[in-house]
Amino acid sequence: MSELNTEQLSKIAYILRVAVVNRALTSLEFILSEPIECEYIQVLNTALDNDNNFDEFISVYIKGNGDLTLSLLMLLSIEDAKWIASRMIGENVEVIDYLSISAISELGNMLLVGSFINALANITGFKIDCSVPGFAMEHYRSILQYAILENYNATIIANIMLLCKESNKRLRITLLLDPENAKKILC
């Protein structure tokens, strides 16, 4: 498997920005009733990025198969997850419990599949079938390593950081691809 060059990585970042801006941001703004902006999109030629953050995160995981094979993660700090669950449930969430896990998982499903995957499919014309969302509360690297094991050829990682502008809460979307599937997006 060959690495992608800088121009190809930039083009994937542009395509992801279009998908995020056109669908995911609009959906997230509606769900959370707050303006959202894309802080950054970073596309790298390595599946394990240099983020050595060992804080616990909450993650919703989706695997896509079909014309395009990919893995998508939505990652939240514990505190940001409590805030988002509070917004979705309509009451203050102090502890991540079954109801808040359900709310966060549903947000992940709506955002990753309903918005992100659908926008990517519309842009590329690919048919992408998605798994049922998985949920984890673990260290970032452990979550990422699990996703890589599920998509063992993944060597391209795209990190998309979304910022809730009023509350200053962050939500990270991580896309994992192998070079062959990354090149399909470029066509």
Does residue 170 form part of some domain? yes
pLDDT range class, residue 162, cuts 50, 70, 90 = very high
Alpha helices in the chain (DSSP H): 6-19, 25-32, 78-89, 98-108, 118-124, 140-150, 179-186
Domain holding 129, by residue range, is: 6-186
| 40, β-bridge pairs | 161
Q: What pLDDT digit, counting tens, does each position of 97-133 carry?
A: 999 999 999 999 988 888 888 888 888 899 999 998 8
CA–CA gap between residue 162 and residue 28 (Å, rounded): 10
Does residue 1 form part of some domain? no
Does residue 75 form part of some domain? yes
The rounded mean pLDDT for the chain is: 86
pLDDT range class, residue 144, cuts 50, 70, 90 = confident
Please tell me the pTM assigned to this model: 0.88
Does residue 108 form part of some domain? yes
Tally of domains in the chain:
1
Domain CATH number, residue 19: 3.40.1550.10
Residues 174, 72 contacting (CB under 8 angstroms): yes
Does residue 111 form part of some domain? yes
Does residue 155 form part of some domain? yes
Does residue 34 form part of some domain? yes
